[in-house]
Structure 1
Amino acid sequence: MSAASNLQSEDQFLCSICLDVFTDPVSAPCGHNFCKNCIDKHWNIVGRCRCPMCKKVYKTRPELQINTFISEMVAQFRQSTQQKASSSSSSSSEQQAAKPAEVPCDVCTGTKLKALKSCLVCLTSYCETHLEPHLTVSGLKRHQLIHPVENLEDRMCTKHDKPLELFCKTDQTYVCLMCSVLDHKTHEFVPLEEEYEGKKAALGKTEAEIQQMIRKRRLKIQEIKHSVKISKDDADREKAEGVQVFTALKESVDRGLNELMKEIEEKQKTTEKQAEVFIRDLEQEISELMKRSTEVEQLSGSEDHLHLLQNFPSLKAAPPTKDWTEVRVRLPSYRGTVVRTVAQLEKTLGKETKKLFEDELKRVQQYAVDVTLDPDTAHPGLILSYDGKKVNHGDVTKKLPANPERVSKHVIVLGKQSFSSGRFYYEVQVKRKTAWTLGVARESINRKGKIKLRPEDGYWTIWFRKRMEYQGLAGPAVCFSLKSRPEKVGVFVDYEEGLVSFYDVDTAALIYSFTGCSFTERLYPFFCPCNNDGGKNSTPLIICPVNQTA
């Protein structure tokens, strides 16, 4: 047994062809030992019988017999190795069994344990127990071990049956050492490890980019959810306000209707009471007259001369009564009752509407932005203040540098600030001006030729002309009149909603709105103070700070 141990400490059980422990060991006539399958395969490939070790050539293939001594020693070696491996892994539990996503050991019988390494020489994956020979036997130590993988045959060159160890950069494929000196000898090669590092670095960069894209999309999801929340809050607030306003209006209508019915009914009751008094007095007089008529009739039928003469004086005339000739029931006038009630209701509705507009204006004023005029876009005939807040038309057209952004045909100037999302609001003083145009314009408007102020050409504006009154330039224009001339106009834009609204700031009244707009470009505030008109329209347009009241 000691001799066996000594033998087991040496590399005498390894086949020099496969470098693995003998399987069915046979001895050549020269005395060298090989796996029976290995030597047969070797001689079939080489085409002649020559010992791989000593190079002795045999004219005829010798008949090889199993070397029973070596076979027994190999069996002892395998048993000893397995016992050691079994002892070292006796504490292992069933949890080491390979899971569906893990590579199983190719050697295990029964329950397949999880493989720790795969051998590119043996084309076999080993668990901790069956990996032991590759870690202890010097011949097996030379084998190339990698992390466990499936389909090890795919890592071998199908043409030369050698491991794929190189990467051909010319053909962008994986080759073995034999390929590099035969089929790809003029090509550029790098070790798989080098190509691996390069591709790993590229994958790392790709992964970083993907993670960045994921982060951006998660932020976008948060942004969208936040937008939905804002929309829901706005909708809830608007619904609550709508319920409140219409409830108040309904109560006003009900109250007005009740008061109308009460007033009419009271007038009718008064008339009925007056008629009842008249009828009662008339019926009383009729009763007295009927009584006198009976007495007169009885006296006139009497045959007693003295009796008739004695009573005649008291019955010769009708009893005293009221003169009913001019007596009339005073009919009440119901005309105008409904009109007055509706007028009062309209007054109440006007108050509610005004309050509603005031609240709406306060809300849009929360989106106030600081707007200044852009001198690079101003028509040469315009005069801009130093702070960029005022503009009016002068009498002289200045010579200015040719600027592609400058408007050349119309007295227009745009704001410096542009907006491609969200909401914004600003206010412009138009007091004492006889003509003006305000609104927003998209970035790609025609700045050098004649223009038409309409949405299809990129303008969402309203104007005031002394004779033509007010127009919403919607193409065709929409004419309208206002109860009072605005002195300060507020401009509000909701980019996503496609809304542009104009307000009379002092009265908190809505002047005009463009709805259902489709914005795809940046929008710029638009200002046109109109021509000087001989000094009649010299007052400038003034961008005012927004007074956000609570």
Structure 2
Amino acid sequence: MADSLFDTENPLNCPICLNLLKDPVTTSCGHSFCMDCIKSCWDQEDHRGVYSCPTCRITFNQRPALSRSTVLADILGGMKQEDQAGPGDVTCDVCKGIKVKAIQSCLVCMASYCPTHIQPHHESEAFKKHKLVKASPNLQQQICPHHHKALEVYCYNDKKCICVVCMGNQHSGHKTVSAAAEMPKKQEQLKIIKKYLIQKNYNMGKEVQKFKEAVVSHKRSAQAAVENSDRIFTEIIRSIQNMRAEVREKIRAQENKEVRDAESHIQRLRQEIVKLLKQNSKLEPLLHTEDHVYFFQNYPFSSGILQYNSFKDVHNLTFEKLEQSLSELKSQLDEVCEEHMGRIFNKVDDVQMFDETERSQSKRKRGSWKSG
């Protein structure tokens, strides 16, 4: 805390730095300074060879020797040991210079006092009837704004503190009691509430821990489920890919077989055509000869030449029925997958930390917190 004085004319102030004396020294003219302050001042006058007192301006031909002021040091030491007011503290309204922390406030004097200045209120009969309370930074809040009396009565009906004049005016007929007497009862109620809050806080802390562990377990289970589903779907995809490869291989095998059979049949037909052309060339002279002996000598009496080899019909050239079967397979797989995916999603939705009732209550609570 700064050792600065609020009263600049306080004799415990250093005339140079205006702060509380530190390591005080006194000159021969009787004025006191901080040792560092007067040394610094005289250091600047060394070139002149003449030194002066910053307070009375008396001069010295030689730089005076400085000695520590034991009396002032003791006084300052005792003052520093007092409970000086810090930021946020209530200060004594009587203290001059250093502001000492107040310990009590008087609702009659409307002032706050340190341990020293509160003594008259405890020792003098003139202050015996004054109302002392713990040092308050807001004394005005403890005074009735209408009657300027202490708020020392508690009104049950309006649940607030009032003054004695209020009792006979707007609070006439209300149930009242001394605020000082009622406060211990309310404090006992607060103790019960505090105990309840502590227990509730403990229970909620346990619940938080439980749900933190549940979240970790839930995440671990979800990760395992994702990995397992990836593995199963990979296996399903691999199985479908294997079936696709088998169907592809089956189609190609059937294609090769039928193409080989067709090419073999084409080869045989070509050979038959060559043979028929040769036979046809032998018949041509017989059709134009007039020599009956030649005709019958070369006439093909064998009936084999007249035999008719029926041609094979071409059918089932496309794999349309296969495509229909594959389409049916796809439809069936879609139906099965849709059915099972619905079941799978339902199983996923069943993994809940809260049931729907608890979830709705939680949402309502969050809504009330936001609106509040």
**Would you call these one fold, judging by a TM-score over 0.5?**
no
TM-score bracket relative to the smaller structure? 0.3 to 0.5
- Larger Rg: 1 or 2? 2
Q: Which has the higher contact order (CA 8 A, sep 6+)?
A: 1
Bigger share in strand: 1
Bigger share in helix: 2
Q: TM-score, normalised by structure 1?
A: 0.32
